[in-house]
Structure 1
Amino acid sequence: MSQLTHIVRRMLPKNPFARGVSVLVAGTASGHLLTILVAPVLTRLYQPEDFGLLAVFTALAGIVSNIASLRYQASIPLPDSDEEADALLILSLGIVVLIAGACAVPLIKYSDRIAHLLNTPKLARFLWLLPLGIFSIGIFNAFHSWAIRTKAFAPIAKTRLSQSAATAAIQLGGATIGPAALLVGQITGYAIGAASYVLRVVQARWSHLKRVRFSSLSVVAIRYKQFPLFSTWGSLFNTVGAELPSILFAVLFSPAVAGIYALANRVLSVPMQLLGQAIADVFFSDAADASREGRLEPLIAVMHSRLAHIAMPPILVLLVSGPDIFSQIFGQEWREAGVFAQWLAPWLYLAFITSTFSSLFAVLDKLGMLLVFEAVSLVVRAAGIIAGASIGGMITAVALMAVGSVTCRAIMFVYLMRVSGSRWHEIGKPTLSALIWAIPLTGPIIVAKMWGLGHPFWLLGLGTATIFIAARYACLMKEAWA
């Protein structure tokens, strides 16, 4: 076993940043591979309405859990001393327990009324699970921040794999009991992930954690007050902006439409979760040091170029053949999800890039501006959906939301580049370069689609483009490993 471990370590890149990303991607790739493999099965076991129920439930859980620690967990990687980080961890966990408990009574007491307001009657039977979901996700997020602080990238990767495996097993095995299995699987995945982190941190830091005093909690609560004052609201606006579409599609149309949107969003989020989050975690762990040492601008320039070249090819594929891909993989019933994906693809490109750099708001002490950006983005996304529902239909709603989202993300990206010291040509050059590379890579599917060559040639074009893109990714990985 030690020899095998030695061989694997030799295969990893020498660059610390690339090594961290590689470890995270290797672990999360396995987890998300499960997600990708089971998705076509789940779409044939469950109805769009069931996915809509899951989307509304996870939207509510995501909104509350993201601020369940008042964002103190986001400050855990920042202190110089482990003792201060210990206090932040305990403070975060305590606030999570209080907020999850406070949510339980109204959710249980007014479950029917809440479900009616959300136009999702079946939700009433499952709202008692919501506090458990908030608690599990909140605890997971706090310990995940500690893992980032200690650069425990291998345990993070293992945890994500165990999460995905547990979620997939329950959702597949429990299909006969209906949408309850979707909800329970989601909660169980986070609970297992949280338990894995708890065991690791308790083993490593228990003797220090139990010595944390209330006075220490007060000190760090005041010292890092910008997180509840600014980051909490910014994160709330960001999460609501991400989750609100599922709720609005359910309220304005039906749970089935919310389910169609949820599938499109779920598929589009895979690269974000697979690569984007892994890169963002490692970037956050390095950005603070880079800022202090005066090397932040070159770090951002290199990262921007690589992110653009990673994101552009699949975006072009979605723009050309989104509906065909979704109907081929998930069934004809889900073709409209591919139309949603076409409209959302440009937003995905910018979200993939800006999500990595969003930690710069904390590193550069610009959390107030993050609050402004997230608030405006929330209003724009919600207004787009509501206006689209009023003047057209669900496609119009998605289109207006997508246009507004792209505009907001583009403005945020330009702002971050400028305050970090990037020059104007460094903002547009990577995108143009990535587009020039992506067009020939996706050429086979573009030709097959535009010339109407038929389904067999379309499949051949898709397969050929996939091989070209994979080869390009291999070259990018080799460059990063050098």
Structure 2
Amino acid sequence: MLRVRLKALTAGDFARNVMTLAGGAAIAQFLPLAASPLLTRLYTPAEFGVLAIYVAWLSNLAVLMTGRYDMAIVLPDDEQRAANLMGLSLWLSLALSLLVLLAVLAGHHELSALAQAPALSDLLLWLPLSLLLAGGMQAWNSWNNRHQRYRANAGGRMALALGMTATQLGAGFAGLGALGLVLGQLVGQGASLVVQAWHDIRHRFGWRQDVSRPGMREVARVYSEFPRINAPHAFIGALQDTLAVTLLTLLSGSVTVGLYGLMMRVLKMPAALVGQAVAQVAYRDMAAAKNRGESLLPYLNKTLAILSALALPPFFVIMLWGDSLFAWVFGEDWRMAGNYARALSPYILFHFVASPLGMVPLVINRQRTAFAFTVAGSALFLSALWGGFVFWQDVSAAFALVSVVMTLYFSCYFVWLWRAVRP
């Protein structure tokens, strides 16, 4: 019976495309995971803490770079509209990167002081370039998704991992410290963008002939809910991670942030990449099904089943033996990161399943309710983290409270999603 169910889950184009992207994501994550034991001996927890703050700020601002118009690229039936959405996304990425550059040049010392991370000051000068690359990656991710170039996106993930890991290892041996970690991030992003855009580079960006200023103005108006509703939604979701890092810095110091950053690098980031692979395929298929007037419930159920099957085995292992595994793989200095992983594993499990389903409200036009859920979820996460630390004066206990609170939250979110797509 189990074999029959697994066969049903993996049948059809949906599962095949998911496995193409998820396989690429899994292979891509093997490199940084395999290199992590060496990286943890080349860099200190404090240096990983600086990277964690940099990546948190990058992630927070990156969701705004395209005005979220990249998320609309897969929706139009008309190819010309899609091309104008692509052009608009790239134009906004360039404009916003220049604005961030001006802000960083004027106040990078003040920003690093605000984050209580003096070592971050000069590294912030790289942030505008990181954001420009992130905007391009997001735009081509959706463009490739629209045209079913799933291998290009999978290849981009592998290029990101290879470029980042190789650079961070080389910089670590050269003794560049936190700068080496940030340079690795940049090189990986650049390599990923080139691979994602390679088909269009070879064809000299043929879609540009469909792009015009009137066309971009039209799609900006038609899809205005994306910057008005989805952009604040995504920003608040990313802000949760930024504020969590800031809160940990204030409550427990940069070493704790470094331990937390490694834990997230090893667990949440690979999970997010695999989850995004599922989301890309499901988003396109659900949008097409909605245009055909079909029920979305079978797609939701199948996506939930695939995500759960992927998530449960590794997270049970982490929940039971996380501290011992981290100490064995990364060294005894990183055992506490394993304790954090054990405490947060239920939250990361539910987040892994829920995050790819964030595209469902886009398809069914329920972005406002989804936005309210995101605000509530971020408030609950940060309140539980702060309250747990204040009450117990222990980071692991605070993370355990976060897991309990967020498990209840995600249960309510899943019920709402199921009811929202039910015929």
The one-letter code of the counterpart of 2:347 is W
- Aligned partner of 1:478 in structure 2 is none
Once structures 1 and 2 are overlaid, which stretch shifts more, 32-41 or 246-255? 246-255
The one-letter code of the counterpart of 1:99 is L
- Aligned partner of 1:346 in structure 2 is 346
Equivalent runs, 1:122-201 vs 2, <5 Å: 122-175=119-172, 176-201=175-200
- Aligned partner of 2:276 in structure 1 is 277
- Aligned partner of 2:322 in structure 1 is 322
Equivalent runs, 1:39-188 vs 2, <5 Å: 39-175=36-172, 176-188=175-187
1:385-442 CA distance string (max 9 Å, x none): 22233332322332333333323222211110111118xxxxxxxxxxxxxxxxxxxx
For the 8 Å contact 2:324–2:335, the answer to whether it is kept is yes
Give the distance between the partners of 2:306 and 2:129, measured in 1 at CA.
39
1:54-100 CA distance string (max 9 Å, x none): 00001001100111111111111111111101100111111111111
Give the distance between the partners of 1:398 and 1:349, measured in 2 at CA.
14
The one-letter code of the counterpart of 1:38 is A
For the 8 Å contact 1:23–1:154, the answer to whether it is kept is yes
Q: Is 1:265–2:264 an aligned residue pair?
A: yes
The 1:270–1:235 alpha-carbon spacing in structure 2 relative to 1, beyond 3 Å, is closer
How many angstroms does 1:213 deviate by?
A: 1.5
RMSD (CA atoms): 1.8
For the 8 Å contact 1:346–1:406, the answer to whether it is kept is yes
- Aligned partner of 2:399 in structure 1 is 398
SS at match of 2:121: helix
Give the distance between the partners of 1:309 and 1:163, measured in 2 at CA.
26
The one-letter code of the counterpart of 1:414 is V
How many angstroms does 1:128 deviate by?
A: 0.6
Give the distance between the partners of 1:319 and 1:193, measured in 2 at CA.
32
Once structures 1 and 2 are overlaid, which stretch shifts more, 378-387 or 395-404? 395-404
Once structures 1 and 2 are overlaid, which stretch shifts more, 14-23 or 338-347? 14-23
Give the distance between the partners of 1:197 and 1:301, measured in 2 at CA.
30
For the 8 Å contact 1:119–1:254, the answer to whether it is kept is no
Give the distance between the partners of 2:242 and 2:31, measured in 1 at CA.
23
The one-letter code of the counterpart of 2:253 is S
For the 8 Å contact 1:59–1:247, the answer to whether it is kept is no
1:188-233 CA distance string (max 9 Å, x none): 1111212233342244473431442111111000000010111001
Give the distance between the partners of 1:406 and 1:282, measured in 2 at CA.
26
1:237-262 CA distance string (max 9 Å, x none): 11112343223212332111111111
How many angstroms does 1:25 deviate by?
A: 2.5
- Aligned partner of 1:375 in structure 2 is 375
Once structures 1 and 2 are overlaid, which stretch shifts more, 226-235 or 21-30? 21-30
The one-letter code of the counterpart of 1:135 is L
Give the structure-1-normalised TM-score: 0.81
For the 8 Å contact 2:80–2:210, the answer to whether it is kept is no
The one-letter code of the counterpart of 1:67 is L
- Aligned partner of 1:421 in structure 2 is 422
Q: In the alignment, which of 34, 37, 44 is matched to residue 37 of structure 1? A: 34
How many angstroms does 1:352 deviate by?
A: 1.6
Structure of greater Rg: 1
SS at match of 1:177: coil
- Aligned partner of 2:251 in structure 1 is 252
Give the distance between the partners of 1:237 and 1:34, measured in 2 at CA.
30
1:16-54 CA distance string (max 9 Å, x none): 112211221332222111011001111111111011000
The 1:194–1:128 alpha-carbon spacing in structure 2 relative to 1, beyond 3 Å, is same
1:337-361 CA distance string (max 9 Å, x none): 1111112111122112112221111
- Aligned partner of 1:297 in structure 2 is 297
Give the distance between the partners of 1:207 and 1:160, measured in 2 at CA.
24
Seq. identity, %: 27
Equivalent runs, 1:228-247 vs 2, <5 Å: 228-247=227-246
Once structures 1 and 2 are overlaid, which stretch shifts more, 35-44 or 385-394? 385-394
For the 8 Å contact 1:70–1:227, the answer to whether it is kept is yes
SS at match of 1:80: coil
SS at match of 2:25: helix
Give the distance between the partners of 1:319 and 1:26, measured in 2 at CA.
24
Once structures 1 and 2 are overlaid, which stretch shifts more, 261-270 or 116-125? 261-270
For the 8 Å contact 2:58–2:130, the answer to whether it is kept is yes
For the 8 Å contact 2:155–2:192, the answer to whether it is kept is no
- Aligned partner of 1:426 in structure 2 is none
For the 8 Å contact 2:26–2:270, the answer to whether it is kept is no
- Aligned partner of 2:389 in structure 1 is 389
Q: In the alignment, which of 25, 39, 51 is matched to residue 28 of structure 1? A: 25
Give the structure-2-normalised TM-score: 0.92
For the 8 Å contact 2:295–2:422, the answer to whether it is kept is no
The one-letter code of the counterpart of 1:76 is I
For the 8 Å contact 2:272–2:352, the answer to whether it is kept is no
Once structures 1 and 2 are overlaid, which stretch shifts more, 202-211 or 312-321? 202-211
Give the distance between the partners of 2:207 and 2:422, measured in 1 at CA.
40
Give the distance between the partners of 2:401 and 2:11, measured in 1 at CA.
45
Equivalent runs, 1:450-461 vs 2, <5 Å: none
Give the distance between the partners of 1:238 and 1:105, measured in 2 at CA.
25
How many angstroms does 1:362 deviate by?
A: 0.4
Q: Is 1:225–2:216 an aligned residue pair?
A: no
Once structures 1 and 2 are overlaid, which stretch shifts more, 202-211 or 165-174? 202-211
SS at match of 1:359: helix
